[in-house]
Amino acid sequence: MGENLISSHKFPDRLSLLSEVDWRDEVEKTWGRKWGAMSEIGKLKMVLVSRPTENEVDLPDVGKEWVFGKVELERMQSEHDQYVEILKSEGVEVAYMDVPPMAMGPYGRLRMLTYTHSLVVIDGGAIVSRYGLAPWRRGTEVYQQRALAKLGCPILYQVHGKATFEFGGNMSWLDPKHMVIGIGPSSSLDGVEQVTPILKQAGVEEIHLAYYSDFMHLDLVLGIADACLAIVDPIRLNVHTLNYLSKKGFYMLEVPDEEARRQALNIVTLEPGKVIIPAGSPRTAAMLRKEGVDVIDAPFTEGAKQQSAARCSTCDMIRDKGPYLSS
């Protein structure tokens, strides 16, 4: 049996060559899947979601300045189910993160566990965030890591120490080599410095830092809808970042303020030129359609109360690379 096992694998000619083999080249054979989602627009193939539970309601006072109303759980669950059905109908494989109805963390009961996008899966495995804005989210990483282990997705890094980095909501891939990372109330520069070597190993060559102070996450003000096509909130996204996107060849559609506040920028792109957008954003949808983008509306009225929508509710696990920037 041992001989058959050995003969079925191709070993390097010299064992010393093992030191030259990249981890990413072994992941699929070792872990069963070629994990990685280093794009916003490459074809989306697999996601991790978490159906809303009682943990999503009755938020404590700390952090309530970022929340606009109490959610109705049954309606939130219904909207989440509708969103998942859209994903499945588009051929996306959907996995669930299981959480108990009363999840506990170091500061008491956990909240807002339905928003899985704080996880980021790069080529070869996942980077796990450390929450910086609300104490009632710290400890969520336990359930995230259990879900990753159950799926067989390796964990490359956990942000730790005093650093904070709510990674997924505070980053946008321009292509697999270029990304924008937000620095603000929910993420610190120390957190970015921790994950930068991991990103570099995965092939990231350039990171643009977008500094802000008056909103929670970058994906509230920036969405990538197609190759070099972005939707932006020009009021809240700083000029330095707008100029950077322009220099990289992006054409930017300015989202009306009232729709930006209803999470119009919190989109999920299924493939180049095809997006899921929160319903109730008709002007944004019309602008995208004028540029040839296929727009699918999904209800997120309850998630919007917590400044969240499609992207926040979705951790991309496997996605094609998509096109690269020319500059």
Amino acid at 26: E
Distance CA 99, CA 147 (A): 9
The pLDDT, as a whole number, for residue 4 is 45
Give pLDDT tens digits for 10-62.
666 665 678 888 989 999 999 999 999 999 999 999 999 999 999 988 766 54
Share of the chain above pLDDT 70, in %: 91
Distance CA 152, CA 30 (A): 10
Q: Which residues contact 322 (CB under 8 A, 6 or more apart)?
A: 39, 40, 41, 42, 43, 175, 176, 227, 272
Task: Pinpoint the alpha helices (H) of 188-261.
Answer: 189-201, 239-247, 257-260
Is residue 5 over pLDDT 50?
A: no
The pLDDT, as a whole number, for residue 14 is 61
Q: Any idea what DSSP says for residue 187?
A: B
What is the average pLDDT across 3-14? 54
Give pLDDT tens digits for 75-117.
999 999 999 999 999 999 999 999 998 999 999 999 889 999 9
Is residue 288 over pLDDT 60?
A: yes
The pTM score is 0.91
Most confident segment among 16-30, 207-221, 232-246: 232-246
Q: Any idea what DSSP says for residue 43?
A: P
What is the average pLDDT across 107-134? 93
| b/e sequence 76-89, b meaning 16+ C-beta within 10 Å | bbebbeebbebbee
Is residue 2 over pLDDT 90?
A: no
The torsion of the CA quartet 92, 320, 171, 174, rounded to 10 degrees, works out to: -130
| b/e sequence 27-49, b meaning 16+ C-beta within 10 Å | beeeeebebbbbbbbbbbbbbbb
CATH fit for domain 32-319, picks 3.40.640.10, 3.75.10.10, 3.40.50.620, 3.30.70.580:
3.75.10.10
Distance CA 251, CA 227 (A): 9
Work out the mean pLDDT of the chain and round it to a whole number: 90
Residue bearing tokens 């539970």: 53
Pick the more confident residue, 129 or 66. Answer: 129
3-state secondary structure of 201: helix
Distance CA 218, CA 191 (A): 15
pLDDT band at 7; cut points 50, 70, 90 = very low
The pLDDT, as a whole number, for residue 294 is 98
The pLDDT, as a whole number, for residue 69 is 67
